[in-house]
């Protein structure tokens, strides 16, 4: 599988960095997006990009190596399957992202739904930008950028939904990852709705077509103005 090989290469090329991330007890394990079983059967591919994954502990994982790539992808897959099948988590704290994920999946039966994050690890189960060491945050972004770009390049989504919210660091990271590859549409997605809540743009890609992208608030947001 191409994505597995790319992940393994990223780990191998950045072994010193990821070992340092693993040794930091305040950081979660690395999140790796998986390839759904229906990927080749579906006509469309929608990539949902969150901010970071909380509680990604995997206490049994003691090192990052070639085999751990399979473990991390399997965890991601089982987590999504388990949450997509549950209906008792609606409106429960911490489940809003997967409720959003489930809704996108239900309303797009002809699409394979993919999952990625702007940041590949969390810090104390929250935004890694809160870490007090700038060099560590820079390394987190370096690995995160490589992993996200690998998913986009290999899985070639038709649509990307950046559901990382209004967080400044997440927005800056996205812009930094793709630099000159982002092309604003200049269009209002919903008349009368401020684009900070729903923004449309395109990502320039080298495999033929631009990718239609949306940036929206994180599903857990409770902004009264938006609601």
CATH code of the domain in which 183 resides: 3.40.470
Contacts of residue 81, defined as CB under 8 A and 6 or more positions apart, other chains included, come to none
The sign of the dihedral angle between the CA atoms of 150, 147, 215, 105 is positive
pLDDT for 40-65, tens place per residue?
Answer: 889 899 999 999 987 787 778 889 99
What is the span of the domain harbouring residue 181? 2-216
147 located within any domain: yes
Run of H or E including 9: helix 2-13
Is 222 among the domain residues? no
Question: For residue 227, is it within any domain?
Answer: no
Q: Residue 105 domain-assigned?
A: yes
CA torsion sign for 11, 17, 20, 26 is negative
Which tens digits make up the pLDDT trace of 75-131? 999 988 887 776 555 555 557 888 888 899 999 999 999 999 999 999 999 999 999
Q: How many domains does the chain have?
A: 1
pLDDT of the residue at 94: 55
- Answer yes or no: is 183 within a domain: yes
Mean pLDDT of the chain: 87
Residue 193 lies inside a defined structural domain of this protein: yes
Residue 175 belongs to some domain of the structure: yes
- The residue among 192 and 93 whose pLDDT is bigger is 192
Using DSSP's 3-state secondary structure scheme, residue 46 falls into strand
pLDDT category of residue 183 using cuts at 50, 70 and 90: confident
* pLDDT surpassing 80 at residue 158: yes
């Amino acid at each position: 599988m191409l994505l597995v090989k790319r992940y393994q290469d990223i780990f191998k090329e950045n072994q010193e960095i990821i070992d340092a991330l693993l040794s930091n007890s305040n950081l979660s394990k690395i999140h790796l997006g998986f390839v759904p079983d229906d990927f080749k059967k579906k006509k469309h591919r929608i990539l949902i990009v969150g901010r970071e994954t909380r509680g990604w502990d995997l206490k049994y994982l003691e090192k990052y190596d070639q085999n751990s790539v399979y473990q991390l992808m399997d965890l991601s897959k089982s987590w999504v399957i388990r949450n997509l099948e549950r209906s008792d988590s609606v409106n429960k704290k911490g489940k809003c992202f997967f409720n959003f994920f489930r809704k996108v999946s239900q309303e797009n039966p002809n699409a394979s739904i993919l999952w990625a994050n702007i940041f590949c690890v969390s810090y104390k189960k929250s935004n890694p930008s809160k870490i007090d060491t700038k060099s560590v945050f820079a390394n987190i972004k370096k690995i995160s950028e490589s992993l996200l770009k690998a998913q986009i390049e290999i899985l070639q989504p038709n649509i990307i939904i950046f559901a990382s919210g209004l967080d400044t660091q997440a927005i800056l990271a996205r812009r930094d990852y793709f630099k000159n590859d982002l092309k604003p549409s200049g269009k209002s997605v919903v008349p009368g709705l401020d684009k900070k809540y729903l923004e449309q743009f395109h990502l320039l890609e080298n495999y033929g077509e631009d990718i239609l992208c949306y940036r929206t608030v994180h599903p857990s947001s409770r902004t009264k103005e938006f609601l």
